[in-house]
Amino acid sequence: MSRNQTIRILATLALAGTSAFAGTGAAVAVTPAEPAPAENLQADIATAQAATNTYWATHWNEFFDGSYTPPTVVGLYDGTNPATAPVCGGQPLGPGNAYYCPEGDYVAWDAGLMTNGYQSGDAWPYLVVAHEWGHAIQNRLPQSLITPAPELQADCLAGAALFGAAADGTLVFEDGDQQELVAALSALADQTPWTKSGDHGDALERVNAFSSGRQGGVEACLPQEQ
Ligand SMILES: [Zn+2]
């Protein structure tokens, strides 16, 4: 199947409300005949949002009390323009970052962060979306269910949601996607200014946290009973 056919099918799936996880695992040369990468990125972001939200809406009551309410999706913003960037805590959201803002209960991602990360693979927007959504989930939980390392817990919840969605069939992984996810997590560790610096783990910790969620699901992300 050609790249173009793949993209058309994925776009159709996204429009139909199901989701697909596009990815080749390898850099694809962009030719004039290809859809613009920005178009693919927007489709992947939309798919990531839909798959993550559907996962939590479907499975919330398997783990938690009450009913699930989704965060507001502010989505892409231009962090280089404080005049138009969303505001959180009285400050415009900055460039090169992604956020869950508790006071507005919304998630948002800087266009520069997404565009730059997307060049390293289309797994990027899935990780960013599912991780920030993980913070929204944390904000809905009692403090007793938050682990001492909330950033790693968000990575774990991202793994649980993305692979849970794959198990549900609402997200389809292609060859190379799982390796891309690991590579993206490694790239995001440490010095990468994705959310607040200083409270993310190193590459290995982040990959391990994500893998815990992938393999053990949501329960593996919660404080373990002694
Ligand atoms: Zn975070």
User: 39 CA distance to ligand 1 centroid (A)?
Assistant: 26
**139: CA distance to ligand 1 center in Å?**
12
Counting as low any pLDDT under 50, the low residues of the chain are 1-32, 191, 193-197
> For residue 5, what are its two tokens?
């056919």
Q: Tell me whether residue 226 is in a domain.
A: no
Ligand 1 centroid – CA 144 distance (Å) = 19
Q: Per the domain annotation, does 123 fall within a domain? A: yes
Q: Which phi and psi angles does 30 have, rounded to 5°?
A: -90, 125
Nearest to 57 by CA among 133, 124, 126: 133
Residue 93 lies in a domain: yes
pLDDT, tens only, 5-26: 333 333 323 333 333 344 334 4
Strand order in the sheet with 106-110: 72-77, 106-110, 98-101
Other beta carbons within 10 Å of 39: 12
Residue with tokens 């893998």: 211
> Which single residue is written with the structure tokens 């849970």?
164
Query: In degrees rounded to 5, what are phi and psi of residue 27?
Result: -65, 135
CA of 119 to the centre of ligand 1 (A): 21
Task: Tell me if 110 is assigned to some domain.
Answer: yes
Pair 18, 170: CB distance under 8 Å: yes
Residue 207 counted as domain residue: yes
Q: How many domains does the chain have?
A: 1
Domain-embedded: residue 125: yes
Q: How far is the CA of 9 from the centre of ligand 1 (A)?
A: 32
Asked whether residue 18 is domain-assigned, the answer is yes
The parent domain of residue 142 ranges over 3-221
What local confidence, expressed as pLDDT, does residue 224 receive?
A: 86
**pLDDT 10s digits, 72-88:** 999 999 999 999 999 99
Q: Is residue 30 part of a domain?
A: yes
CA of 207 to the centre of ligand 1 (A): 14
